[in-house]
Each structure stands twice: as C-alpha cells, then as structure tokens.
Amino acid sequence: MENRDTHVYAAVPPSPVLGEGEVLVATELVGPGRERVSCPAAPLVRGVLERAGRPVRTGPAELVSPAQDSAFQVAVDRLPSDDGRRIAVAAGAMDSEGRSPLAAACAAADAWVGVAGPRTVLLASPRSWCAGVERAVEVVERLLEEPGRRGRPLFVRKQIVHNTHVVRGLERRGVVFVEELDEVPEGATVVFSAHGVSPAVREEARGRGLEAVDATCPLVTKVHAEARRFSARGDTVVLIGHDGHEEVEGTLGEAPEHSVLVQSPSDVRDVEVPDPDRVTYLTQTTLAADETAEAVDALRARFPRLKEPPSDDICYATTNRQNALEAIVPGAGLVLVIGSANSSNSLRLVERTRRAGTAAHLIGDATGIRPGWLAGVATVALTAGASAPQALVDEVIRALSGLGPVTVQEHSTAVENVRFAPPKEVRTP
Ligand code: SF4
C-alpha cells in the first residue's frame, strides 16, 4: 500500500518482546530523537484483531536499528492528513505453523485507513451515569475505603450496575461479585446492586447473618413500594418489563402471588386476573417510553378500569437519555450507544433509533466499533447508557480522532441535578 512505511521498531520497555503470533498495536511511536507521534485509533485496530482471535497487546513502539536484538517489524500507515496521526501495527514472531501475523495486523490497520477522514460527532446530553448508578458505585467505593474493613473481602450480589468496565474496575480493587448469597461466607458484608432485590433475598441475608448494604436505586425502591401497596389493597399488579432482568425479578418478588409480567402488547391477551376491575400496572424503570405506551394501551383495552402508578415508573434518567438521543439522530448517519449488552436502558436507545430508521449499534467501548459502520459516514451521533462511565465516551471520541479531525457538537435537552443520599450504613458521620 503506497501510504505505508515499514520500519523496525521495538516495544518500549517494560513491554516485553512480542510472542509467537502476537501483534502490537501502537498507541504512540517514538522516533530516533525521542519525538512522539500519537496513534489514537489503537483501540479501533485492536478490536478488529481481537474479534479475529489474534493475541493483541497495545503500547508505545520505538524506532530502533534493524540490527538490534528484540526488534520486530512495524508497518506504519500514514493517514491522508499531515497532522501527525498514525495507525501503526507491529508483528511478533511467526506462529507455530510458520505464519507471520504481520499480514493480519496490516489488514486490520488498512481497514481503518480505508474509512479515515474528518468527522462530526453529535454528542447527546444527558448521557452516561445517572444518580442511581453514581450512588451504587459510591456505596461500594466507600465500603472499600472504610478503615475498619481494609483487608476484608467485600461481596456484591450481581453486577453493582450493568457495565463490565465498572465491574472489572471494582474487581481489581478487591470486590468479589457473586450471583447468589450462598457464595458469600456467613457474617461477611454484601452489597445489593442498584437493580434491587426481592424480600426473599433480604430474608436469606438475615438468615445467614450477613451484613447487607442496600445500593438499590431509590427509584427502583419506589416501584417496589407501589407493588406492595397496590397488591395489599387487593389489586393484581401487572408489571411491564423484561423477563429475567434483575430489577423485574426483585419487583415481582414483592407480591409474587398477585403479580403478572407483561413483556409486550401481545402478551396482554393472555393475562388472567381474578378481578378485571382491580388491576394496576407498574413498569420497569428503564423501558422505552413508546413501547411501554403501546403495552399500557393494550392493557387498558382489556381492563378499562386499569389503574396507573401515581407517577411514571420509567425514571428521569432513562427518559432524558432517550429524548437527548432522539434530538440528534436526524442529523447523523450512524448512532453509537456505549453500554454493556445487559444494560436495559442502553439497549432501548439502540432499538428506538433503529425503529426510527437510522443505523445504530451498541458498543462496550471503542474496540467494539467496526470499520464498515463508518464507511461514507461523516456525522456520528454518540451517547452512553446510564451505567456507562463518561471515560468511555472520551475514549470513543479520541479513537475516532485517530481517523481524522473530529468536531464535537454537544446537544443538551435537559439539565440533570438529581443526587441520591447514600444509605445510612456508609454515610459519613
Ligand atoms: Fe435509578 Fe433510573 Fe439510574 Fe436505574 S437508570 S439506577 S432507575 S436513575
């Protein structure tokens, strides 16, 4: 390829020599005079290689003399701009079958060079962490930092929030995530996640002598209280939500004998209730507003005296993120939503955009972006679900800037100043 220079580089210490079949995706190149050239698109290249099953490492690469030991080949792809961006990959030794990984590494780099160019990023606001997620993460962090607890394991039942980066970050700090309470030793401290738990789980924790700290979002707690109140007055509670989601399991657990789950309008015809005049609906907090309205309409058609919750159960953060994205979608050729695959509010953002006819993809981070998505796309709309940290948004913008100049235009449709006080167990006296 005419825009590629091949030089010999070595990984900058302490990064060791590349292993068999391994590829280095350079995050920066260090020249002979110690000058540094940035390679912001490294996560994009890395994603292509990882999906192809290549062992990949990222880090700086330094120009060395070809005669020097521990050197390996680097292909430097010059981008069409003159402002110093590079996409650079290096290949280690042949694999056990005598194949050099250089061809695969160069193909991954070329895929991104092929879609390089200037872009506009329309940034939705509000996006990223909501008050409930901030509070849940803060609960765990405060417990980790409590002097009396240092050195003792801290357990969290389920993912504290639905984001793998957040969970891995806390795991690195010593938090142990478990699926069920029987994995927690008696007497230990366990945190309940932001999605809430059923009374049966609380009872199990008490029975096992666990110190339970509840990080349930107060807006989920509100729905639990409604389920208790409406079932206690003799209503059947129809919960609109997604089967298997932890929040739904927790809410249904408040009144299992008097609750029915409805996932879509078509489920409504199968709903059996003892008294059609005594039915109240509630919803999961992170649903798409339009789909939920369809389910409510179907319920009302079957149960004309259907009662509703006193205030919307779909939370402010979910609604704000949907409205913010909707406002920028018309100007974009592609929508990227940052969030993990089990994040309900993030999935709803993707689904709503697709229903409106625009290409949309959920990405865990910048490595999830595919070159083909950007072909011919000059404007990208970007947002992040309520459990995805802002740092991942910054990483995606930076990665796109490795393909050409990026102009960021932030569009705000609401100002969020919601804060939830932490539970009493972690309040500073
Ligand atoms: Fe609470 Fe809504 Fe955030 Fe869920 S998305 S944690 S319900 S504020």
Amino acid at 326: E
* Residue 76 pLDDT greater than 80, yes or no: no
Ligand 1 geometric centre to CA of 125 (Å): 16
Q: What is the mean pLDDT of the chain?
A: 91
Strands 189-192 and 154-157: parallel
Name the band, by pLDDT with cuts 50, 70 and 90, for residue 1: very low
Sequence-ordered list of residues with C-beta below 8 angstroms from that of 381, at least 6 positions apart, any chain: 121, 122, 124, 325, 328, 329, 331, 332, 334, 335, 336, 358
114-128 confidence digits (pLDDT tens): 999 999 999 999 999
382-413 confidence digits (pLDDT tens): 999 999 999 999 999 999 999 999 999 999 99
Q: What are phi and psi of 364, to 5 degrees?
A: -70, -35
Q: What are phi and psi of 32, to 5 degrees?
A: -65, -30
Q: Residue with the nearest Cα to atom 6 of ligand 1?
A: 132
Residue ranges around ligand 1 (CB below 6 Å): 130-133, 194, 217, 219-220, 285-286, 315, 317-318, 345, 386
* Residue 170 pLDDT greater than 90, yes or no: yes
CA distance 220 to 272: 26
Ligand 1 geometric centre to CA of 131 (Å): 7
Name the band, by pLDDT with cuts 50, 70 and 90, for residue 182: very high
Q: What are phi and psi of 6, to 5 degrees?
A: -110, 125
Percent of all residues in the chain with a pLDDT value above 70, rounded to a whole number: 91
Q: Which long-range contacts (CB under 8 A, 24 or more apart) does 258-263 make?
A: 258/231, 259/227, 259/231, 260/236, 262/238, 262/295, 262/299
Mean pLDDT across the stretch 145-173?
A: 93
CA distance 178 to 11: 38
Catalytic site positions: 247
- Compare 90 and 376 and report the one with higher pLDDT: 376
Instruction: Say what the pLDDT of residue 5 is.
Output: 64
Mean pLDDT across the stretch 72-94?
A: 73
**Looking at ligand 1, which atom is closest to the CA of residue 315?**
2
Instruction: Say what the pLDDT of residue 23 is.
Output: 87
Q: Residue with the nearest Cα to atom 4 of ligand 1?
A: 132
Amino acid at 188: A
Name the band, by pLDDT with cuts 50, 70 and 90, for residue 2: very low
Amino acid at 343: S
Percent of all residues in the chain with a pLDDT value above 90, rounded to a whole number: 76
Name the band, by pLDDT with cuts 50, 70 and 90, for residue 339: very high
Mean pLDDT across the stretch 342-348?
A: 96
Q: What are phi and psi of 62, to 5 degrees?
A: -120, 135
